[in-house]
Copies of this chain bind each other. A is one copy, B any other.
């Protein structure tokens, strides 16, 4: 088997075509190609590394859980159940995984020009040894080879973690999670570092289904009354401490907007009580819900200042935009749509309270690229507590990553950014995603060098910082 023609393995992929610039990009990339992967924000399953069982079939591993894939096929008329996504409460058998794989292969041309294509090509070529892109013609053969490989020890989760060169892998859990798998991983003696991030949305967002029940469980877990304002805050502090003791270094907040508030103690308490009361009765107002989420971001910042957990805010997704599909399949099937997002007014209460604290780190993300140069780079280029998260979700693609650097660097510089986040549940694609990000940073820096905007010796330092030092430092890893 030769891989010489597989584009996913071309040594110059994603580098500029102009030869002198490409040569610079190669030299920069040589500096970072083999650096360990820091993955400080993602959604892989910690159970994989705790039990270290073989992965199942290629379809349930690579396709069904990946909403980048299912949404694209759905947009062209393929039904979600054909892809192994199981409808709520329906008792029909999903298609056999080899059939799902064939459907996927037949629609592989849809991904031309997308980052999913780059990542999948890389996984199939580099991890599983494919020698050309997937087609209907080679679908069955590819499927069988992957099955055979998954059954071998070299393809178990821990072996791949090591093969991929991962130094830290962060997962995301609710305060109600026991972190049992993280505990098991550490108890096992395996040296892989898999840590959690504290994601309290289910006990902060009063519009979450089951919010009151979640508070009750929070109370049960902590032994603190979660229905008084002070108790509620203390319960957060207790769970944050538990997460930190288990290795976590960060929190993560996925609110609909970036709005923050800085209410006085008494107003905050009154708001909390009103929110709990109305959530119980089922007549919560959306205005109260929004204000409560806003206030809680500021409370979380205060706790971060105290316990040192790095705070991440990523607003701006309209979750489950497609109501009929949500009704049938539930969340996370690709119907989350970005919306216009304000940061300047929204973050001001929090930043005026804590933004001048240089021992606090708040990392903010966006799905609204129009805010890069207008709002986020100026804010991150001023407030000591603020750092700019990388191009994210719909934007962690070659063009998206490049626009991020082009539109933020001149105001915020490199050192108010924090390296790359893969933010993925697709474990196999993690190296490909980091590799794309590293290559695009090399491409951006090579252009600066070629145009005499930055000396090459300094670009060599910057590219290492972006790939390794900045994420470690920003996430306190």
Contact = CB atoms under 8 A, between A and B. Distances in A.
Interface of A: 7, 10, 12-18, 20-21, 71-72, 74-77, 109-115, 117-118, 133, 318, 321-325, 334-340, 342, 344-345, 348, 351-352, 355-356, 358, 367-370, 373-375, 377-384, 386, 394-395, 397-400, 406-407, 409-416, 447-448, 450-455, 458, 461-462
A466 to B, nearest CB: 11
Contacts of A448: 113
Contact of A109 (B339, B384, B410, B415): B415
Given A322-B355, A383-B75, A452 B13 contact: yes
Q: How many copies does the complex hold?
A: 3
Given A411-B394, A413-B114, A452-B10, A352 B324 contact: yes
Contacts of A394: 373-374, 377-378, 410-411
B113 A382 contact: no
B21 A17 contact: yes
Contacts of A115: 410
A423 to B, nearest CB: 15
Contacts of A325: 356
Nearest to A333: B382
A227 B104 CA distance: 51
A379 B321 CA distance: 9
B20 A337 contact: no
A457 to B, nearest CB: 10
A342 B453 CA distance: 34
23 contacts: A12-B452, A16-B451, A17-B20, A17-B447, A72-B413, A74-B382, A74-B384, A76-B415, A109-B458, A114-B410, A114-B411, A321-B382, A322-B383, A324-B352, A337-B375, A337-B382, A339-B345, A339-B374, A340-B374, A368-B374, A369-B374, A370-B374, A394-B410
